[in-house]
Amino acid sequence: MIAAAVEVTAGSALIINPTFVVRLLVGASLARGGIAVGRVGGFGLLSLGRACWPRADVLTAQPTMAF
């Protein structure tokens, strides 16, 4: 559950402000194309985090069910 929460948080941060996240992690700025790629990656992380989020009513592996 912690990994899913981290993925959802990172994905949301990349969607909202990819320039800040990249500057925080790498220390570099982004061009316009990099901002678009960062947002697409953010949606990917958000989707993966949502797919891995544990549910109480299902006993199977969440990533397998999502794919």
Domain locations along the chain: 2-66
**Which amino acid belongs to residue 33?**
G
pLDDT of 18 reads 93
Predicted confidence band at 2 (pLDDT cuts at 50, 70, 90)? confident
| DSSP secondary structure code for residue 67 in this structure | -
Q: Report the amino acid identity of residue 52.
A: C
Question: Which CA distances in Å does 13 have to 1, 39, 44, 66?
Answer: 18, 9, 12, 22
| Percentage of the residues of the chain whose pLDDT score is greater than 90 | 51
